[in-house]
Amino acid sequence: MAIIGLDTVVYGTGDMAEARRFFTDWGLVKARATKRETVFETQQGTRVVLRPADAPDLPPPVGGGVGAREIVWGVKGKRDLDAIEKALARDGAAARDADGAVHATDPNGYGVGFRLWRHPAPRSGRQPVNHPTARERQGRRGHLYERAVPARLGHVVFAVPDFREAERWYRERLGFRVSDRQTGRAVYLRCAPASDHHNLFFMKRPETAPAFHHLAFEVRDVHEMFGGGLYMRSKGWPTAIGPGRHVVSTAYYWYFRNPCGGAVEYFADADFPDARWKPRNYQPKRSTFAEWSLLDGLERVGMEEMKPSRRSLRSIASPVGLKT
């Protein structure tokens, strides 16, 4: 089952206008818009789809009913779709739509879909970097990003009562692999031997109902992450946490609260495991989430106004960062 990566995330939202404004500011391109659906795209063409929360073609809500309703994965070929359909049939109905995509439900009740991958590689790479052994930007000024233009969808995260059951299902039915674990608390899964550190992340939730946590978008480098975060702040969108740098995956991050539910994340420079990768078991503690982190973002200010706030300099408050 050659799953390549995240293709589409479908949200049900109570305020279509606010959701459209958010993802426009986030840096996505509006590909299609009607009264009942808006489709946004990354540079690569992977998608965020917005529909009203009461849309009849949405999978039913899970838990509190906010956040993503369906996660659609891209696969390499038709044989892979056929194999996935056969594997999912072991748990009940797996339906095909008119376009040939396979749709089912995962153990936590979330919609999960699979369609043929039709996206090229992202077009743009990082900016040149000067370091002691190489001056890649010799004779040129560094680039300052006014905002971010996300290259692609990276990963989705769910808080669930039984993350081990979720892990088992995605490994046995779909061939996902473990990249790392937080002992007794979370598991990081990738969809292919050589892939993002995690395309899917489950964390333990003490409540009995699962909850959508966040969707992450990869940007070119840490500088674009900062530019995107500062732009979102200037538009009035609240930071959930960040900016900072993760311990597990070592990616730079900045999370914002999403009016559709949960959060969204800009990330850059994450680990990229291959078949030689050996999973680690991280002991759950406060420092596991972040090497360093701010809690409430940064303000774009002049030099004469630059004063660190007490709140910005506090250490991170939770071992999993965001509250679910």
Alpha-carbon distance of 156 to 199, in angstroms, equals 6
Helix (H, G, I), strand (E, B) or coil at 312: coil
Q: How many helices (H) and strands (E) does the chain have?
A: 5, 20
Alpha-carbon distance of 209 to 196, in angstroms, equals 28
Compute CA 267 distance to the chain's CA centroid, rounded to the nearest angstrom: 9
Torsion (CA) 235, 11, 212, 157 in degrees, nearest 10: -80
Q: Which helix (H) or strand (E) holds 69?
A: strand 68-75
Residue 223 has which token pair?
Answer: 């500088």
Fold of 152-305: 2,3-Dihydroxybiphenyl 1,2-Dioxygenase; domain 1 (3.10.180)
Instruction: Label residue 130 by pLDDT band (50, 70, 90).
Output: very high
N-term to C-term CA, the chain: 32
Torsion (CA) 119, 143, 257, 150 in degrees, nearest 10: 0
Instruction: Give me the pLDDT at residue 111, please.
Output: 94
Instruction: Give me the pLDDT at residue 300, please.
Output: 57
Torsion (CA) 128, 192, 80, 115 in degrees, nearest 10: -50
pLDDT digits (tens, 9 = 90+) for 175-187: 999 999 999 999 9
Compute CA 159 distance to the chain's CA centroid, rounded to the nearest angstrom: 13
Helix (H, G, I), strand (E, B) or coil at 114: strand
Alpha-carbon distance of 320 to 288, in angstroms, equals 8
Instruction: Give me the pLDDT at residue 314, please.
Output: 40
Domain chopping of the chain, boundaries: 3-116, 152-305
- Fold agreement between 3-116 and 152-305: yes
Instruction: Label residue 1 by pLDDT band (50, 70, 90).
Output: low
Q: Is the pLDDT of residue 170 over 50?
A: yes
CATH class of 3-116: alpha beta
pLDDT, greater one: 302 or 236: 236
Across all residues in the chain, what is the average pLDDT? 89
Instruction: Give me the pLDDT at residue 309, please.
Output: 43
Alpha-carbon distance of 176 to 114, in angstroms, equals 14
pTM as predicted: 0.91
